[in-house]
Amino acid sequence: MSVTNDADDGDFGRHTLRYLFITNSWFPAQRVDVAVLFGAKLPQRGHRVDGVFQAQPSHGAYESEWGGGKALVAGRVATGEPLSRLKNVCLRYRTVARSLWSVPRSDYDFIQVRDGHVSALMAFAVAALTRRPFVYWMSFPVAELWLHRSTTSRGVRSLLARLLGIAGRAVLHRLLLPGAAHVFVQSDQMAADLAKRGISPGKLTPVPMGVDPRSTRPATVDKPAGERWIGYLGTVERVRRVDLIVEAFAQVLGCYPDTRLILAGGADRAAMEFLEKRIAQLGLEDEVLLTGQRPRAEALGYMQACDVCLSPYAPLPLLQSTSPTKLVEYMFLAKPVVASEHPEQREVVEASGCGFCVKHEPAAFAEATIALLENPRLCAEMGARGHAYVLRHRTYDKIAADVDRSYRSFLSVRPVAPDAIGSPLDATP
């Protein structure tokens, strides 16, 4: 680690942190935590991040400026091309290997990997050989997702998913997490789960999802006068059980026939077809708008126009440790929320007073939604409370400060001088 001793206070005094950040995210970064936290907010605090990403489909490898450093982007062949999955995996790991090859000649303070198991193994080995700290960022229990998929698939796919899940879990819990210098997790629940597995609580830092007021800018969406809108923002993959809120909406229509359900999100073709079929079975084709994947500003615009927003999370083990982005985005937009029982959602809803937390059942969602539609004043009060809570606790300026503090704590590196950081609004992601 290239730090210099500060004779005045005995601390290590190099201000800037420089590190390699390996993620399986597409570039340009789509996830707000990657794009905003690592692409903008941490660089404002003296971080210089070199990131490893994947290109959009049918795009070759390239480099770009990003995060105060550069992005090394792995190429991707078209999805329909023969052996496309295998080719894309090979292209990705070739780019990861290329980035790690440069580590011995770099001034990186540490190497960090987000979620990937094979990439993490490669980085773990290089970190050990070059005597640099290895940091793991666990935003989702990927091994548990593979194990879940093994129960919903058949034949070879089920067997492969199970093998990947078992292998991933073993690598993660027996090597990567115990051997990491620090582990960032998505929620307090995930930290508690890992602590039960023997990971020292002292090296676990929860980093929940947040919002960036500068970039959370909804587009204007036309809404017919007199209509009430109920909104859902996010993926409609089957594991999310979005069909539950379609069933709840059918019950809401019995009380408020002038209501429309807006599902602002996409998924793979099979999941979209399943949801479309369920909507048709309930005779709701004219009352439900399934937008598919839309630009973020447009999707937020739909939610801004809604009267009530919904955050369902199926009670599956792999989802209980997540930190829902949609919840804090609804709150920032000052929308009253109906959320299903979930560790973080329960904590945030109770602490903020932004809405109702109910059982993950159609009748419970319908009852709570109707209660809100019947009381516009309560909706406004809950929306205002949620907005205030997010500004106090869940902006990426605050989250970046917390993450920066954790990095510098385990590295024993002083923070950047306050006048070098500048205003958190000086730069936009």
Q: pLDDT tens digits, residue range 366-410?
A: 999 999 999 999 999 999 999 999 999 999 999 999 999 999 999
- The residue among 171 and 80 whose pLDDT is bigger is 171
* pLDDT (average), residues 19-47: 92
Residue 415 and residue 291 in one domain: no
> Listing from the earlier edge strand, what are the strands of the sheet with 68-74?
62-66, 68-74, 47-54, 17-26, 110-114, 134-138, 182-185, 204-206
Confirm whether 341 is domain-assigned. Answer: yes
Domain count, the chain: 2
Confirm whether 2 is domain-assigned. Answer: no
Residue 48 and residue 143 in one domain: yes
Residue 233 and residue 368 in one domain: yes
Instruction: Check residue 253 and give its pLDDT.
Output: 94
Q: What is the pTM of this model?
A: 0.87
* pLDDT (average), residues 49-78: 92
Residue 242 and residue 342 in one domain: yes
Residue 26 and residue 129 in one domain: yes
Cα–Cα distance for residue pair 31/83, rounded to 1 Å? 27
Residue 298 and residue 155 in one domain: no
| Domain harbouring 96, CATH code | 3.40.50.2000
Residue 335 and residue 414 in one domain: no
Residue 33 and residue 149 in one domain: yes
Name the DSSP class of 35.
I
Q: Which residue has the tokens 């990426």?
A: 396
Instruction: Check residue 416 and give its pLDDT.
Output: 56
| Three-point CA angle 257, 354, 360, nearest 5° | 65
Residue 5 has pLDDT above 60, yes or no: no
Instruction: Check residue 239 and give its pLDDT.
Output: 76
Residue 268 and residue 332 in one domain: yes
CB-based burial of residue 112 (10 Å sphere; 0-12 exposed, 13-18 middle, 19+ buried)? buried
Confirm whether 9 is domain-assigned. Answer: no
Domain coverage including residue 379: 228-393
Residue 236 and residue 170 in one domain: no
In sequence order, which residues have a C-beta less than 8 Å from that of residue 105 and are 6 or more positions away? none
Residue 166 and residue 36 in one domain: yes
Of the candidate ranges 8-17, 60-69, 351-360, the one whose mean pLDDT is the lowest: 8-17
- The residue among 6 and 319 whose pLDDT is bigger is 319
In sequence order, which residues have a C-beta less than 8 Å from that of residue 91 and are 6 or more positions away? 61, 74, 75, 76, 77
Q: CB of 236 within 8 A of CB of 263?
A: yes
Confirm whether 6 is domain-assigned. Answer: no
Confirm whether 3 is domain-assigned. Answer: no
Q: Name which of 342, 324, 331, 338 is nearest 389 in CA terms.
A: 331
User: ω before 317 within 30° of 0 (cis)?
Assistant: no
* pLDDT tens per residue, range 283-325: 999 999 999 888 889 999 999 999 999 999 888 887 889 899 9
Q: Quick one: tokens of 215?
A: 């970039």
* pLDDT tens per residue, range 129-147: 999 999 999 998 888 888 8
Instruction: Check residue 314 and give its pLDDT.
Output: 85
Sign of the alpha-carbon dihedral angle for 123, 127, 128, 129: positive
Residue 190 and residue 310 in one domain: no
Confirm whether 223 is domain-assigned. Answer: no
Instruction: Check residue 414 and give its pLDDT.
Output: 60
* pLDDT tens per residue, range 242-278: 889 999 999 999 999 999 999 998 888 888 898 899 9
Confirm whether 219 is domain-assigned. Answer: no
Residue 1 has pLDDT above 60, yes or no: no
